Structure 1
Amino acid sequence: MDLLIAVAQQTSTSNSPVWLAPLLGGAGALVGGSLTSTVAWRVLSDTKKARRRAEEKEATEIITIALLEVRQIYCNTDVGSGPAPEPFRFWTDYLESKFGGSEAALMRLHNDALHKRVTSSLDLLVWGAHDSRLLYETRSTARAVANHAHDDAMACLGAYTRNEPWPDATKAWKDADGQLQWQFEQERRATEGE
């Protein structure tokens, strides 16, 4: 770059052609403009990444708070047996209300695999942990299914927040999730008349 400036500043009495100075000036402007554009693009890209990361961090915090609240519900009550807390008619409605903000937060997670896995854990907490068919098929208790679902979601969200690989799903979680997904598919087929 300094060479370009030095050549461009030569007086017109030198042996260089007259057109060389404007050409070198234009080349310098092009190089300078390209560097400025590159830096501006880089700053914009870094800003977008930072904003996206902040949104995902906020989303994971919202989901984590809801998970901790639902864990307390499972620890303090016998979820699924007896009537649901007032004013809810069903336990699923009550539990879904606790995860209300989490559904919107899940949409802000840009990692599809994480989104799917956490959604599966939330489904287990809302639907599966007190579903008698799932419990029978997996030979498990409601509290055990809820604990596996809660632990899996928390481990995945924590690892994602720390930029670490997530842990493998446990066999108990896979069994419960597989059974619940199978039941969902059977309900869908029955609804659609397949």
Structure 2
Amino acid sequence: MDWLIAAAQQPSTSTSPVWLAPLLGGVGAVLGGSLTSMVAWRVLSDTKQARKRAEEKEAAATITAALLEVRQIYRNTDVGSGPAPEDFEYWSDYLLSKLGKAEVAVMAFRSEALRTRLTASLDLLIWGSHDARLLYETRLGSSRAVAYAAHQDAMACLGATLRGEKLPEATKAWKEADGHMQWMAEEERRATEEE
């Protein structure tokens, strides 16, 4: 410590002003602090984006698994005709039990357009694909045709999102089924309000 005091008491041979050293030290500290803050912010931002991307991948896996299970149900059964399986009173309750986790997983996606499309496709699988009125008005004829359109649209949207592409154009069959389902929901809402 004595050597430090002795060095400070030595006369300076430098021609620079006394205030320059503290000024440069202060500027260095500010720059260093700013760079450190910027790097920390960038790392935090990257970590947040990576976590969100991982959540979306997990949600996509949950939805895909549920869609594949329900696709098998539609392939093996004439959904909507006859009693619902496994002690369920209605087919919609049975399908909802299979797709409930998928409906929750939809909320993990940042894209509102994707959430809307997936929700509509899931609604068609749960509520619309065995509704006789919807089938008649869309002229799709069977629950399998509506389910196929809904399943294909959901899978195409999930694939595009995972690849970082824009959402694909919906098919005519999907648009008709979704449009009629929305119309029916609006009619039901109006009827409920009038009561």
* Fold in common (TM above 0.5): yes
Alignment check: 8 A CA contact 1:156 1:167 kept: yes
Q: Which has the larger radius of gyration?
A: 2
Alignment check: 8 A CA contact 2:103 2:122 kept: no
Q: Does 1:42 align with 2:46?
A: no
> Per-residue CA shift, 1:89-136, capped at 9, x if unaligned?
000000000012112211111111100000000001111111111111
Give the residue type in structure 2 aligned to 1:189: R
Q: Does 1:110 align with 2:133?
A: no
Q: Which residue of 2 aligns with 1:180?
A: 181
Instruction: Label 1:90 to 1:12 Cα distance change in 2 as closer, same or farther (>3 A).
Output: farther
Q: Which residue of 2 aligns with 1:136?
A: 136
Q: Does 1:163 align with 2:142?
A: no
Structure 1 residue ranges (4+ consecutive) displaced by more than 4 angstroms after TM superposition? none
Alignment check: 8 A CA contact 1:156 1:166 kept: yes
Give the residue type in structure 1 aligned to 2:112: D
Alignment check: 8 A CA contact 1:62 1:101 kept: yes
Segments of 5+ residues of structure 2 without an aligned counterpart are: 1-10
Q: Does 1:101 align with 2:125?
A: no
Give the residue type in structure 2 aligned to 1:148: A
Give the secondary structure class of the aligned counterpart of 2:56. Answer: helix
Instruction: Give the fraction of aligned pairs with identical amino acids, expressed as a percent.
Output: 71
Separation in structure 2 between the aligned mates of residue 12 and residue 132 of structure 1, nearest angstrom: 97
Could you state the TM-score of these two structures normalised by the residue count of structure 1? 0.92
How big is the shift at 1:190?
A: 1.5
> Per-residue CA shift, 1:39-95, capped at 9, x if unaligned?
010000000000000000000100000000000000000000000002100000000
Separation in structure 2 between the aligned mates of residue 54 and residue 150 of structure 1, nearest angstrom: 23
Give the residue type in structure 2 aligned to 1:66: A
Q: Which residue of 1 aligns with 2:13?
A: 13
Could you state the TM-score of these two structures normalised by the residue count of structure 2? 0.91
**Which shifted more, 137-146 or 58-67?**
137-146
Q: Which residue of 1 aligns with 2:125?
A: 125
Alignment check: 8 A CA contact 2:156 2:168 kept: yes
Alignment check: 8 A CA contact 1:121 1:153 kept: yes
RMSD of aligned residue pairs (Cα, Å):
1.2
How big is the shift at 1:191?
A: 1.4
How big is the shift at 1:12?
A: 4.1
Q: Which residue of 2 aligns with 1:6?
A: none
Separation in structure 2 between the aligned mates of residue 60 and residue 98 of structure 1, nearest angstrom: 15
Give the secondary structure class of the aligned counterpart of 2:79. Answer: coil
